[in-house]
Amino acid sequence: SAVGRGPEVPFRSEAYRISAVARGKELRLTLSALDPAATAPQDLVFRFGMSGSFRLCPAAELPRHAHLRFFTGESPPRALCFVDPRRFGSWRLGDAWQPERGPCVVSEYQAFRGNVLKNLDDRAFDKPICEVLLNQKYFNGIGNYLRAEILYRSKIPPFEKARTVLEALKEQEQERRKKDPSLTLSKKVKLRQENPDLLELCHTVPMEVIMAEKQLFDPEHSDNYAAFKNWLQCYLVPGMSSLRDHSGRTIWFQGEPGPMAPKGEPRKTPRKKSPQLKADPEAPTPKVSPRALKRRCRAAAKPPKSEEEEEEKEEEAEGPRKGRARGKRKVTAAPALPEPEVPQGVRRSRRTSARRGKGETGSH
């Protein structure tokens, strides 16, 4: 599209096939001409950020923010679109995965597990386990909501030291081998299913999402997003606690945060909205000074942020964040969540402010 930030794709073919393979948080598309002599294949590697996705739709009804489009040859044609409303995602030319990313937690589980356990002397594991789970060098594919779900199921405090957690896991694995080296593969699988450890949950929890993705991930249909919210056991769930980690990202959890928690009390996600008190029609109207009235109008024009709006944008977090200008900080709402309802009094105040801006006088 004209406003897309990705590079131009130097591939021209009247008839071609698209194939795909995923690794962690990256997806590689390969464009192959049906006539091999016409043009060479072209690879594209995508990162999705927080809001990127692919959507197949009629070519005459392209969605907004469709930054890259592949058109079918049928009649009427359809378009496979890379849609990214917040533009956190990207694509690049070539078939290479990002070199700093480790093995995929889903498709390369044994390599992923070995990569973690053999590198526990890395300084990266000096951090809390909730922060290390976002390190794509070791946990390629784990994002913010997945880390909350994994730690909740494993009953591990999010701010426990990562090396402490993983070294204990390594010792348990070695003891299990010593006790019964003759365990068959089927028995090992059964034991892991009955009592999965942290690294196994890094594989099985994303697999649950993948197996149900057609039902869970379609923000265009509210019923499907409701199914995803019902699947969540911890992330954004009412009654859970939340804290900003040392990178400024919110982690949801239950119970104690752990010894490496930042200063400050955890916030509780409210279980339900408190009932609003009805105004007494016979109560006298309090007098309000013009200065106080102005303050109320300004405050009313900025409704309070919901828990979801305070959630930071979902980024890859594979390394240190780039520097930002001092004092500037972006806060982005979570996807497909409803905006907080604005009370009626707030709407009246906004209308009053609008009339005053046009030179009219408002009365209360």
CATH number at residue 119: 1.10.8.50
- Judge whether residue 353 has pLDDT over 60: no
Give the pTM.
Answer: 0.68
68 within domain boundaries: yes
204 within domain boundaries: yes
Instruction: Please tell me what DSSP assigns to residue 344.
Output: H
- Judge whether residue 338 has pLDDT over 60: no
Q: What is the pLDDT of residues 166-210, one digit of tens each?
A: 999 888 777 666 666 665 655 555 556 568 999 999 999 999 988
Give the model's pLDDT for residue 266: 87
CATH number, domain at 41?
3.20.190.10
Specify the pairing of strand 53-58 against strand 78-83.
antiparallel
Q: What is the pLDDT of residues 210-252, one digit of tens each?
A: 887 765 555 555 566 778 888 999 999 999 999 999 999 999 9
228 within domain boundaries: yes
Instruction: Please tell me what DSSP assigns to residue 101.
Output: -
Q: What is the pLDDT of residues 143-172, one digit of tens each?
A: 999 999 999 999 999 999 999 999 998 887
- Judge whether residue 114 has pLDDT over 80: yes
Please report, for residues 114, 162, 174, 182, the alpha-carbon distance to residue 188 in angstroms, rounded to integers and kept in the order given. 17, 25, 13, 10
Domain match, 73 and 192 both: no
Q: What is the pLDDT of residues 260-278, one digit of tens each?
A: 999 888 888 776 554 444 4
Give the model's pLDDT for residue 36: 78
10 Å CB burial of residue 164 (0-12, 13-18, 19+) is middle
Domain match, 168 and 34 both: no
Residues 202, 102 contacting (CB under 8 angstroms): no
Phi and psi at residue 9, in whole multiples of 5°? Answer: -100, 110
Domain boundary pick from 253, 281, 307: 253
Phi and psi at residue 249, in whole multiples of 5°? Answer: -100, 150
Domain match, 171 and 235 both: yes
Q: For residue 89, give its domain range.
A: 16-93
- Strands across the sheet with 16-23, in order? 16-23, 26-33, 42-47, 90-93
Total domains present in the chain:
2
